[in-house]
Amino acid sequence: MFKRVLIANRGEIALRIIRACQELGVETVCVYSTADKDAPYLKLADRAICIGPGPAKESYLNIARLIAAAEVTDVDAIHPGYGFLSERPDFSAACRDCKIEFIGPTPEAMQMLGDKVECKKTARAAGVPVFPGSEDAIEDEEEAVRIARDIGYPVIIKASAGGGGRGMKVCHNEATLRNQLRVASQEAQAAFGNGAVFIEKYLEHARHVEIQMLGDKHGDAIYLWERDCSMQRRHQKVIEEAPGPHIDRDKLRKVCESAAKMIRAAKYHGAATCEFLMDGRGDFYMLEVNTRVQVEHPVTELITGIDIVKASIRIAAGERIGVKQSDVQVRGHAIECRINAEDPDKGFRPSAGKIETWQVPGGPGVRLDSHVVPGYVVPPNYDSMIGKLIVHADTRDEALDRMARALREFKVGPIHTTISLHQRLIENTDFRRGGVDIHYLERLLKPQK
């Protein structure tokens, strides 16, 4: 096992990694920007080191400074968390060059799965279902038109190097496809330094279902089943749950098995998530693979009893996954609500500032992953998520009731949070019935005329 790990992140995930390291008997070094200098979780780390000013480019996204911090503090490994540099092959490569273990995949595996065209090819070869569409990047307009006629409109143009929901164009007819192709490629070139685009079938009504994977350095991979993350706003997940309601378990099992095959084929080690859209018939189509631990990993931890963050550290240290697929048991139901410092009544305007009241829920089956304490000041520089409230119960109905209860106990002020939105959603009859689609929340929030 490692002696000392550097945590190249902030907020709740930095704290989550500190906790995992402590349970493993590993020392922690947590980096921070000057905007986070008073963050309370820094005191829980064995050491904290400033890596620059507030803007992420000069701190949490600065590879040279992070490597320098790792060398100065003499760590064996770096955990990137999620966001920031977690999916940057050059960061994984820089760690390797400096003989520091990157807690995550190799740059090669990350590169392959991070490129959407390459990833789709790997998926197809392993039998993972993907959207019908072009097999390679589009070389000429006529080819794209031919493929679109074949699969039928609407189609979506995507950048092979795209990410964060950017660079996608939905086309309902040939004329739009023709004039959007060039625009999409130019935008992709400008945004991602790679103009390659491809097209695939666009699904109008879909649910977001993703599969949690773990792979190790000995060539093994297992799946920890699915999470349903269909409740989204602007492609950002708002509520996640596991198991997903009303899913054909036989179809899902087949998809999970082929996803494990894909992870093995990619020689992938660490935690990964294969994201899918699921159509009204219960069929799956892969969107992408996230090559890191996800924000919503706790729901899977609660239903499987497997600590995904500890597993990622053990795997990086060379240990085997240690759990056989047949040992993975799903117990009960878990739901996570992301608590953001935003005002849902004012168009989700960020609500940074000092938190005076922070009265947290507790009791059976309630978990709160948050770095906030009373008096904490939410810096304006970063993501607005200030915590994740997760509940676990025997059944979905009980988990919903438990979440409603926990949300009622949760008092935060004077800043605004999304707690009020979650209260509304947990009581929503469509959500309670299970199986809302990915556009549900946006329709619900649209002002009534």
Catalytic positions are 292
- Nearer to ligand ADP by Cβ, of 156 and 265: the residue is 156
Assess 188 for contact with ligand ADP (CB under 6 A). no
Assess 361 for contact with ligand ADP (CB under 6 A). no
Assess 165 for contact with ligand ADP (CB under 6 A). yes
Assess 172 for contact with ligand ADP (CB under 6 A). no
Query: Helix, strand, or coil here: 86?
Result: coil
Provide the token pair at 32.
């921070």
Q: Which of 11, 107, 162, 387 binds ligand ADP (CB under 6 A)?
A: 162
Candidates 1-9, 25-33, 155-163, 389-397: pick the segment binding ligand ADP (CB under 6 A): 155-163
- Nearer to ligand ADP by Cβ, of 311 and 438: the residue is 438
Calculated CA dihedral for residues 371, 61, 80, 350, nearest 10 degrees: 30
Residue 212 DSSP label: E
What's the rounded Cα separation, in Å, for the pair 429 and 424? 10
Assess 354 for contact with ligand ADP (CB under 6 A). no
- Nearer to ligand ADP by Cβ, of 427 and 442: the residue is 442
Candidates 197-205, 243-251, 318-326, 385-393: pick the segment binding ligand ADP (CB under 6 A): 197-205
**Which residues 224-243 are close enough to bind ligand ADP by CB under 6 A?**
235
Q: What does the per-residue mask of binding to ligand ADP show for 272-291, with x meaning CB under 6 A?
A: ---x-x---------xx---
Q: For residues 396 and 332, is the Cβ–Cβ distance under 8 A?
A: no
Write phi, then psi, for 101 (nearest 5 degrees): -70, 130
Task: Report, in Å, the least distance between residue 214 CB and ligand ADP.
Answer: 21
- Nearer to ligand ADP by Cβ, of 202 and 382: the residue is 202
Candidates 201-209, 210-218, 311-319, 324-332: pick the segment binding ligand ADP (CB under 6 A): 201-209
- Name 50's bridge partners: 32
What's the rounded Cα separation, in Å, for the pair 311 and 320? 9
Task: Report, in Å, the least distance between residue 154 CB and ligand ADP.
Answer: 8
DSSP per residue, 338-404: EEESEEGGGTTEE--EE--EEE---STTEEEE----TT-EE-TTS--EEEEEEEEESSHHHHHHHHH
Q: What does the per-residue mask of binding to ligand ADP show for 106-145, with x meaning CB under 6 A?
A: -------------------------x--------------
Q: Which of 25, 99, 140, 164 binds ligand ADP (CB under 6 A)?
A: 164
Candidates 87-95, 157-165, 339-347, 384-392: pick the segment binding ligand ADP (CB under 6 A): 157-165
What's the rounded Cα separation, in Å, for the pair 107 and 65? 19
Chain centroid, CA 124 distance in Å: 22
Assess 438 for contact with ligand ADP (CB under 6 A). yes
Calculated CA dihedral for residues 45, 49, 52, 57, nearest 10 degrees: -50
Phi/psi region, residue 7 (left: phi>0; alpha: psi -120 to 50; beta: rest), is beta
Task: Report, in Å, the least distance between residue 201 CB and ligand ADP.
Answer: 6
Residue 40 DSSP label: G
- Nearer to ligand ADP by Cβ, of 268 and 285: the residue is 285
Write phi, then psi, for 435 (nearest 5 degrees): 95, 30
Task: Report, in Å, the least distance between residue 104 CB and ligand ADP.
Answer: 17
What's the rounded Cα separation, in Å, for the pair 191 and 385? 25
Judged by the rule CB under 6 A, the positions of this chain that interact with ligand ADP are 131, 156, 162-166, 168, 200-203, 206, 208, 235, 275, 277, 287-288, 438
